Chains A and B, each alone.
Chain A
């Protein structure tokens, strides 16, 4: 045979033609028969089959008759269509046309029901249960098991798989979807089938609890009511719920969710199905953390401070008091958190420029630097092009200052999927191999906080495989080391790799695009570009815009404390998230006038002069811009006329300010007004500003004599004490145990030999803001580095320990 004989024909997709129930259909090669049948409109009943899990063929519900396997011979017995790939010329007869298949399916259904309690009237799944539905469509009407005097297998009522997940073993049909999901998708194989025969059951190992950030997906894909959440169990019936598609607000991934609600109250959230973003999975935080909008300290009416006390006020009064106060306070600034919708962020950005006539606006309610602002303007604004599917296709994905499992769960699942296929190598510059990195089979390039620049530069070495096909994901924490963002940009530039910025919060990227930064106007317009300002001023109908680059968050805090700024508008900032919580609180105390736009009572509302309630995401339409520049629009779940979005509140204050002769009205009152305005404004088409790393900060103070200093590494775990998880006791109970991590040598320098450890050792970490005492765990950290979770104890590391990257001490603590 010559080489040319062998050359395959070029076809885009290899199609295979087969006949299902007499209907000819062509499907891509390797398609499973059960899915090919869907193409001709035949739904074969199934339980264990799930399109995103590996086939297993366990439940046997999807048996079909194959009179011709494509080779002229048939299968003598019915075949499981969920494990059988199509073949050219195959003939498939499903329950619709084959008595054999129909009887086989009815037989399996009968078997499945003999040990099932048939407690549908009290089961949460009743009404949306594949077992119930398919028993109706493909089962017998009567039970021969009961007639023949059969005795069902029973188990004691539910057992906890985790604090959140409950298992009713007698309902389980042992399809293994949950165990396969946990192993194959989440990488948390802490549940498994145990025992055998009809006594087989999903089980845990008591010494390795089912600790997973994705356990809710196992509940969602359970085809019966065996797995329920402590959160939702017995709360409502599916047929009483109204479902509204939405977007998860907890991270910058934009996962599609489905909000199920009843009479104005969210009852539960489920993963939406979006192949391009989250496939069919969401993190437990996205699923279970929604009651923060229902907790008791929710603010429901405007308040103004009178004689030192807040008192209820009408909206018009509150607007007027806020406007008067800001005008009298003199120069004022705007601080917002990272949870705003893009429309609201735009409103803050415009409010600062048009009403307060300043560029003193910053959305970064977290440690931040001037280098980062420059990086966001130069590299992030208007950027795009790296998508989730690119992550799957890239040979190498570099993580810089990003812990996806904790900070961007959807990215984690994609990277794990890619790594599991063996085509993608994840490389992470981080202080230690986290569980998430291990699950992605990632390679650690160890870097102590402050030493990231050298580590990033080392990635240029060909051994790391960072080529033009690689993707560099930059987390927001990388900004904490001077020069690291510049090094990341240089790495991308020299290798041709594509770079994307992955913030932690849902509103961060949208706020960059909306111009809620001191150096950036909406649409990526640099403040320093006269043409950009003129362009924007014309669009906004104002004569001029402030020309000077404004103060960033840290500078605003400093200026308030110093008295250079008199007033401040704060929207959704938790003081304990800021670079220096104590300084932030002091600045609020020092400020002449504080306007707070908030959902719930916080340390900001407690000192504010005017408190204006704003709508949670369920009460307003909006857009979250994801890390991959996807505008994820969502509609309001509830129509709640008394719940105003931030942009409407700001418009009210701006109107009053304009009435007092300061600035102009914002020119919009609704989300659709803002969307239209943003649309017509469009992006800046001029040159991007250059990245300016700025001056290096002063080196940290030398530690006190006689104490060995450790460098503090920290980040927030997915489930922690963040205020948007308030009201979710069951979710919080699934959080990972907070621990202090040290290298072996560091551990032994503090505690003595590791081999002699009792396992009860606790470490006290002390910094310039306080101490934290936690159990200690040894990890592959560089010596002299200590890691603690940022928001898993008290008010968190920033408030009660020290700034990330600063020097701390570690001592053994008596437990």
Chain B
């Protein structure tokens, strides 16, 4: 394990006009293409398998293995779909990446499509980030003009079309099958599985869906070799990743480091917590991952260790909250988000988030009784693992983990007859030294 930053994806972000083709090529961009075209597609898949790259979208499924599931004897076209619908509260890695260096993603798309033998690829971008969409579209245009996309790329005989598709503003479309529905022009609601997308995905054809960061990591793997990648990180969580620090931290931002780094190290790199404050709780991978507390500061941020600590690595969206923050209030805000974003397809998520919000809102106002905490936990129990997709599960994570770690704070609302915190104290414009 290393304890320093390993800028790979973020390496060129400080370059002048880093998002242009010229700037990208100046740093050796698109060189991996020729190397890959000299390999067979299966060799490219093997290289990615060997690197140990695991899905950077949160679930951590081995990317190379996912590619290997594509049935190459299926006569239908194969598709690569990049999930760039980054919407998870706290998650902020794909959008900065596409903003700063869209060509990294485009190059990754070409390599990955070549590996799975796709001739059409899609980037499904969150519709709200118009600036990023424009950068991506321009990057794709530049790549076409430079011969990196289109027919007979680099004289290899390989053809690829890349389409940038803007979503219409639904968190659920980050769920891969709902994303496919949206891409096909329908309402974004998750599909029944099986069939899995690898067998019948986009337009009922074999489809690989990968996160932006996973695909953007491929050029470096091809350029530097799988062992270069695998030497970083931990035994089962290899390589690097972008850690997005946000909240009550001195220098919020994206920190690219090997998997297995700890939050304590990251906070140090970020200049510590907000002046004069201490960490109270944090999410390791966005709001859908159970909360952790300062006692978890030294948990290695890899898939296995965070799992063992009772949460999930998720998207490495590290939201940091200091002692000025009311956990009930934070959890209520997240729950309102899930209620707003529940697609409505299945009962537990649709009705459950509706009810959870009401119960939490009453608790925040100091209404109700201690038994309402049991009611909340029972509601969560009836949603977790009962809903159609993971959105419902994610909605329960902040609630059950916050009750686990901060039960007394919930009760304080009841005894205090309302929230005992000063809501101003937690804000960015709070006067220095403000306390709860």
Contact surface of A with B, Cβ cutoff 8 Å = 55-61, 63, 76-78, 83, 103-104, 107-108, 110-112, 114-115, 144-145, 148-151, 153, 173-174, 192-200
Q: Which residues of A contact B187 (CB under 8 A)?
A: 192-194
Distance to closest chain A CB from B73 (angstroms): 17
Q: Interface-forming stretch among B36-44, B78-86, B119-127, B337-345? A: B337-345
B347 and A108 within 8 A (CB): yes
A59-B347, A150-B355 known; A197-B386 Cβ under 8 A = no
Which 10 residue pairs of A and B lie closest in terms of their CB atoms, listed nearest first? A107-B382, A200-B344, A77-B385, A111-B351, A197-B342, A198-B354, A196-B344, A60-B347, A197-B344, A111-B347
Distance to closest chain B CB from A113 (angstroms): 9
Number of A-B contacts defined by CB within 8 Å: 109
B382 and A111 within 8 A (CB): yes
Q: Interface-forming stretch among B212-220, B273-281, B367-375? A: B367-375
Q: Which residues of A contact B297 (CB under 8 A)?
A: none
A151 and B358 within 8 A (CB): yes
Question: CA A107 – CA B372 in complex, angstroms?
Answer: 16
Question: CA A83 – CA B192 in complex, angstroms?
Answer: 8
Q: Which residues of A contact B316 (CB under 8 A)?
A: none
Q: Which residues of A contact B368 (CB under 8 A)?
A: 148-149
B359 and A148 within 8 A (CB): yes
Most A-side CB within 10 Å, residue of B341, B362, B378, B382: B382
25 A-B interface contacts by CB (under 8 A): A55-B192, A56-B192, A57-B346, A58-B347, A59-B347, A60-B386, A76-B385, A77-B385, A77-B386, A83-B192, A103-B381, A107-B348, A107-B379, A107-B383, A111-B350, A111-B355, A148-B359, A148-B368, A149-B358, A149-B368, A174-B344, A196-B170, A197-B343, A198-B354, A200-B345
Question: CA A545 – CA B75 in complex, angstroms?
Answer: 70
In the complex formed, the residue of B with least CB distance to A149 is B362
Question: CA A115 – CA B355 in complex, angstroms?
Answer: 9
Question: CA A704 – CA B290 in complex, angstroms?
Answer: 85
Question: CA A192 – CA B185 in complex, angstroms?
Answer: 14
Q: Which residues of B contact A197 (CB under 8 A)?
A: 339-344, 350, 353-354
The A interface is mostly helix, strand or loop, or mixed, namely loop
Distance to closest chain A CB from B349 (angstroms): 8
Distance to closest chain B CB from A595 (angstroms): 61
Distance to closest chain B CB from A222 (angstroms): 16
B375 and A144 within 8 A (CB): yes
Question: CA A367 – CA B348 in complex, angstroms?
Answer: 59
Other A-B pairs, 12, CB within 8 Å; known A107-B379, A196-B172: A58-B388, A60-B388, A78-B385, A104-B382, A107-B386, A111-B382, A114-B351, A145-B355, A194-B187, A195-B344, A197-B343, A198-B351
Q: Which residues of B contact A58 (CB under 8 A)?
A: 345-347, 388
Distance to closest chain B CB from A427 (angstroms): 26
The B interface is mostly helix, strand or loop, or mixed, namely helix
B386 and A104 within 8 A (CB): yes
A78 and B344 within 8 A (CB): no
Distance to closest chain A CB from B47 (angstroms): 32
Interface residues in B, total, Cβ within 8 A: 36
Q: Which residues of A contact B359 (CB under 8 A)?
A: 148, 150
Question: CA A59 – CA B343 in complex, angstroms?
Answer: 13
Q: Which residues of B contact A59 (CB under 8 A)?
A: 346-347
Q: Which residues of B contact A148 (CB under 8 A)?
A: 358-359, 362, 368, 372, 375
A111 and B358 within 8 A (CB): no
A61 and B354 within 8 A (CB): no
Question: CA A222 – CA B119 in complex, angstroms?
Answer: 44
A83-B192, A107-B386, A114-B354 known; A199-B344 Cβ under 8 A = yes
A110-B382, A144-B375, A198-B342 known; A57-B192 Cβ under 8 A = yes
In the complex formed, the residue of B with least CB distance to A83 is B192
B355 and A108 within 8 A (CB): no
Is residue B87 within 8 Å, beta carbon to beta carbon, of the partner chain?
A: no
Is residue B352 within 8 Å, beta carbon to beta carbon, of the partner chain?
A: yes
In the complex formed, the residue of B with least CB distance to A59 is B347
Q: Which residues of A contact B340 (CB under 8 A)?
A: 197
Q: Which residues of A contact B383 (CB under 8 A)?
A: 107
Is residue B231 within 8 Å, beta carbon to beta carbon, of the partner chain?
A: no
Question: CA A196 – CA B351 in complex, angstroms?
Answer: 11
Question: CA A60 – CA B347 in complex, angstroms?
Answer: 6
Question: Which chain B residues in 28-58 approach chain A with CB under 8 Å?
Answer: none
Q: Which residues of A contact B387 (CB under 8 A)?
A: 60
In the complex formed, the residue of B with least CB distance to A109 is B347
In the complex formed, the residue of A with least CB distance to B358 is A150
B347 and A112 within 8 A (CB): yes
A108-B382, A149-B358 known; A61-B192 Cβ under 8 A = no
B192 and A193 within 8 A (CB): no
Q: Which residues of B contact A149 (CB under 8 A)?
A: 358, 362, 367-368
A63 and B386 within 8 A (CB): yes
Question: CA A296 – CA B379 in complex, angstroms?
Answer: 58
A174 and B386 within 8 A (CB): no
Distance to closest chain A CB from B325 (angstroms): 26
Q: Which residues of B contact A153 (CB under 8 A)?
A: 354
Question: CA A153 – CA B170 in complex, angstroms?
Answer: 21
Most A-side CB within 10 Å, residue of B351, B381, B383, B387: B351
In the complex formed, the residue of A with least CB distance to B362 is A149
Question: CA A110 – CA B351 in complex, angstroms?
Answer: 9
Distance to closest chain A CB from B377 (angstroms): 12
Q: Which residues of A contact B341 (CB under 8 A)?
A: 196-197
Question: CA A751 – CA B261 in complex, angstroms?
Answer: 76
B388 and A115 within 8 A (CB): no
Question: CA A59 – CA B388 in complex, angstroms?
Answer: 9
Most B-side CB within 10 Å, residue of A76, A197, A199: A197
Question: CA A417 – CA B35 in complex, angstroms?
Answer: 51
B381 and A107 within 8 A (CB): yes
A78-B385, A107-B382, A150-B358 known; A196-B348 Cβ under 8 A = no
Question: CA A108 – CA B387 in complex, angstroms?
Answer: 9
Distance to closest chain A CB from B189 (angstroms): 8
Distance to closest chain A CB from B169 (angstroms): 11
Q: Which residues of A contact B379 (CB under 8 A)?
A: 107
A173 and B358 within 8 A (CB): no
Question: CA A111 – CA B383 in complex, angstroms?
Answer: 9
Q: Which residues of A contact B170 (CB under 8 A)?
A: 196
Question: CA A520 – CA B421 in complex, angstroms?
Answer: 95
Q: Which residues of B contact A104 (CB under 8 A)?
A: 382, 386
Binary A-proximity of B255-283 (CB < 8 A = 1, otherwise 0): 00000000000000000000000000000
Distance to closest chain B CB from A387 (angstroms): 32
A60 and B348 within 8 A (CB): yes
Q: State which of B343, B347, B355, B367 has its C-beta within 8 Å of the C-beta of A196.
A: B343
Question: CA A57 – CA B355 in complex, angstroms?
Answer: 21
Question: Which chain B residues in 159-174 approach chain A with CB under 8 Å?
Answer: 170, 172
Question: CA A194 – CA B189 in complex, angstroms?
Answer: 11
Distance to closest chain A CB from B65 (angstroms): 19
Most B-side CB within 10 Å, residue of A78, A149, A196, A199: A196
Q: Which residues of B contact A198 (CB under 8 A)?
A: 339, 342, 344, 350-351, 353-354
Distance to closest chain A CB from B24 (angstroms): 38
In the complex formed, the residue of A with least CB distance to B376 is A148
A111 and B192 within 8 A (CB): no
Most A-side CB within 10 Å, residue of B172, B354, B358, B387: B354
Q: Which residues of B contact A193 (CB under 8 A)?
A: 187, 344
In the complex formed, the residue of B with least CB distance to A63 is B386
B348 and A111 within 8 A (CB): yes
In the complex formed, the residue of A with least CB distance to B387 is A60
Distance to closest chain A CB from B43 (angstroms): 28
Question: Which chain B residues in 320-349 approach chain A with CB under 8 Å?
Answer: 339-348
Distance to closest chain A CB from B337 (angstroms): 11
Q: Which residues of A contact B382 (CB under 8 A)?
A: 103-104, 107-108, 110-111
In the complex formed, the residue of A with least CB distance to B342 is A197
Question: CA A78 – CA B351 in complex, angstroms?
Answer: 18
B375 and A111 within 8 A (CB): no
In the complex formed, the residue of A with least CB distance to B378 is A107
A108 and B386 within 8 A (CB): yes
Question: Which chain B residues in 5-41 approach chain A with CB under 8 Å?
Answer: none
